[in-house]
Copies of this chain bind each other. A is one copy, B any other.
Amino acid sequence: MHYLAENYTMSGLLKFSMKKTALVIIFCSLTSIYAFSQSNQLLHSAKPNIVLFLVDDMGWQDCSVPFWNQVTPFNKIYHTPNMQRLADEGMKFTNAYATPVCTPTRTSFMSGMNVTHHGISSWTSPNKNNNTDELDDQMSPAEWNLNGLSPVPGIEKTMYATTFPSLLKKDGYFTIHVGKAHWASMGTPGTDPKNLGFIVNVAGHAGGHPQSYLGEDNYGNITGKTQPQAVPDLESYFGSATFLTEALTKEALNALETPIENKQPFFLSMAHYAIHVPIMADKRFVQKYYDAGMDSTEAKYAALIEGMDKSLGDLMDYLKQKKVDQNTIIIFMSDNGGLGLVPPRRGVAQTQNLPLKAGKGSVYEGGIREPMIVKWPGVVKPKSIANQYVIAEDFFPTILEMAKVKNYKTVQTIDGKSFMPSLKNEKYSDTTRELIWHMPNKWISKDGPGINYYSAIRKGQWKMIYSMRTGKKELYNLVEDIGEQQDISNAYPQKVKQLSNILSNQLRRWNTPMPYFRATNKKVPLPDELF
């Protein structure tokens, strides 16, 4: 009010003395410049809000939205109308990739670094210095960064990196994290999202899955039974029938009120614990899947998916109701492939992502290909489809470009590549780019397809798989053989050699952790050392 009064006085001055017009103009102009330069709100109004809606362990087929060139049986089982709504308003990415398990993907998002570079190649334990690798007769563990990501240097077994939320925050964004974090172990700074650039954190910590999805279980916080996976920050829902997915959604909408009221641009990391194990019944949705005759576990899985989808719808409705939907980008993504282990899943193991091969933990497509959708009113064409391949570390430069953050400084080299060209043109194509996966870890006690000690590389239509245990290299043509059924390495030795070289050079460049052979105590060879 004070400043308004000052301006009214200024108007009075104008009337009083036209001789002083020039002076007044200069003063007025200067105050405008000053006010504008001070006015975050005006500057910010040009900045889009950004939501990264991240689902945990969701496979490429775990929805009713087809990401393939045909509707699959899985697309018919699951119900995700809000994903469809998002796809109708935005762009589907049919070749979007994560890493085979959660922490590496999440740290790639945050750091813009490829897994070969950040060295956080498997999931981090809640407990510091605790290697989650299973024991192996033949191999001893790689020296990976098993404590995860760190915003400060000098923390043992972590990768020190500048996170994109910290850059957004510095740029004036109100940054919110809700849900699963799993970026680092307890006892290190990276365990707390507030140390990674988030102003507000709800329920994000070192835990990689919820101890329970049920409010009736206090999400695991029960005296004598509480484990490190008990979900924090949700005491107000304790004892209620609020399913975790719903509680997190409510918390996210509550947290959004502050930036929306202050007209401050926001970044929301809406990171659901769903649909990770424990597969528990979301009573709001499960009955119809039971009624459809599904196996009870798979019915619960389908309900977890639908509950997650409702969250997306609630969020979209809220943004619209608050009249910020037209200035809000929503990025839908998952962090690895759908779980193919039986148990806890039911049915035939490693068939849960068909037509893709294998599932979570694998470098085959079932372990890494993700449902991804981007809605960006005015920029991204509704109902568009991008077939260009993209990967987790690309989110870092893309999101900063979306937010118009320029000339930012990071302590790390950014490996990701902005997918803005695709967003602006669904036909954009770059077949020269190389994507690399690397998991020198033993994720499960018994090897599975593409699971435990594998690397992989994709370039254009070609994908090569490298087994560290056996030295075997497989080659697939993904355009012709999305299911990776026909190993054509013998037919294209030059292609195998070329991809081996690229992969090996990247592993050399970052001195990427590799496992050791127990017999010799030597690191496994790089793929190009085996010709």
Contact = CB atoms under 8 A, between A and B. Distances in A.
6 contacts: A14-B25, A28-B28, A40-B40, A195-B254, A223-B228, A224-B224
Contact of A236 (B10, B43, B192, B232): B192
Contacts of A372: none
A222 to B, nearest CB: 9
Contact of A2 (B32, B46, B189, B221): B46
A334 to B, nearest CB: 25
A202 B14 CA distance: 52
Interface in A172-214: 172, 186-192, 194-195, 199-202, 205-206
A4 interface: yes
Bin chain A's interface residue count: 35 or more
Contacts of A254: 194-195
Contacts of A233: 192, 201, 232-233
Interface in A8-52: 10-11, 14, 21-22, 24-25, 28-29, 31-33, 35-43, 46
A235 interface: yes
Contact of A29 (B10, B191, B192): B10
A148 B482 CA distance: 59
A351 B25 CA distance: 71
Contacts of A36: 3-4, 6-7, 31, 35
A469 interface: no
Contacts of A261: 170
A381 to B, nearest CB: 26
Nearest to A6: B36
A169 interface: yes
A95 interface: no
A41 to B, nearest CB: 5
Interface stretch (A237-245, A318-326, A335-343, A362-370): A237-245
Given A28-B32, A186-B235, A233-B233, 12 more contacts: A3-B43, A4-B36, A7-B33, A11-B29, A28-B28, A32-B35, A38-B42, A38-B263, A191-B236, A199-B199, A221-B226, A226-B226
Nearest to A220: B226
A248 interface: no
A262 interface: yes
A227 B230 CA distance: 12
A486 interface: no
A29 B29 contact: no
A258 interface: yes
A218 interface: yes
A3 B239 contact: no
Contacts of A188: 236
Nearest to A172: B262
Contact of A38 (B10, B41, B230): B41
Contacts of A21: 21-22, 25
A128 interface: yes
A43 B41 CA distance: 12
Given A199-B200, A200-B200, A233-B232, A4 B33 contact: yes
Contacts of A11: 29
Contacts of A239: 128, 186-187
A214 to B, nearest CB: 13
Most-contacted residue by chain B among A11, A35, A240 (CB, 10 A): A35
A66 to B, nearest CB: 39
A255 B2 CA distance: 29
A40 B235 contact: no
A200 B41 CA distance: 21
Interface in A229-279: 230, 232-233, 235-240, 251, 254-255, 258, 261-263
A531 to B, nearest CB: 46
Given A218-B186, A236-B192, A38 B39 contact: yes
